[in-house]
Amino acid sequence: MIRDHHVPRGSTLFDVNRHSFLRILVFSAVWWVLTGSDISSWIVGIPAVLIASKLSLMLSPPSQCPLSLLGALHFIPFFLYQSFRGGIDVMRRTLLRQQLLDPGLVSYVTILPRGSARIFFVNTISLLPGTLSAKLDENQVTVHTLDRGMPVWANIQALEYHVAALMNISTQKKNCL
């Protein structure tokens, strides 16, 4: 699973072309957002987009598991709702008179493969209610929580499931400890 992208496949050339086309599209969109509708800006824009696409392909080669559109449609509302809850949770704890904190460390073993999926997962943990990723050792994430009474484990598992769906990663049901 982890070393999958080293295995050569039949349609490599086609895939590389499709990937570079996608990146060029994304960087063009970013350029358009940055500069607005001024046509003359593309004199600089076209070379910049091409160089950026080439560099990004060199720095992060296309992964085996492309983003899933359906996964994104599930992930974005989930993320927005959860981070809003996280903000409300922090606001409640800061503004109430007595301190409602019961912090602690929780350890979690993730099934997500090494690479962008795992990094994305670790970064999003910090935006969910009551959790903050403090350490990542191989597949073991140490999470700092504001309140040990919260269902931290269930929250992180839900996030992991959504990230897996977003990145088209199959999740075999693992045995919970």
Residue 120 CB, nearest distance to other proteins (Å)? 10
Residue (16 or 25) nearer to other proteins, CB: 25
CA distance 5 to 157: 26
Footprint of other proteins on 74-93 (CB under 8 A)? 80, 83-84, 86-91, 93
CA distance 27 to 77: 25
Q: Say which amino acid occupies 99.
A: Q
Fill in the DSSP letter of residue 171.
-
H helix and E strand count, the chain:
5, 3
Q: Which stretch binds other proteins (CB under 8 A): 13-21, 51-59, 103-111, 164-172?
A: 103-111
30 sits near other proteins (criterion: CB under 8 A): yes
Residue (33 or 154) nearer to other proteins, CB: 33
28 sits near other proteins (criterion: CB under 8 A): no
Cβ contact 176:126 at 8 Å: no
Q: Which residues contact 137 (CB under 8 A, 6 or more apart)?
A: none
What is the contact surface with other proteins in residues (CB under 8 A)?
A: 30, 32-34, 36-37, 80, 83-84, 86-91, 93-95, 99, 101-105, 122-124, 126-127, 129-130, 132-136, 142, 144, 146
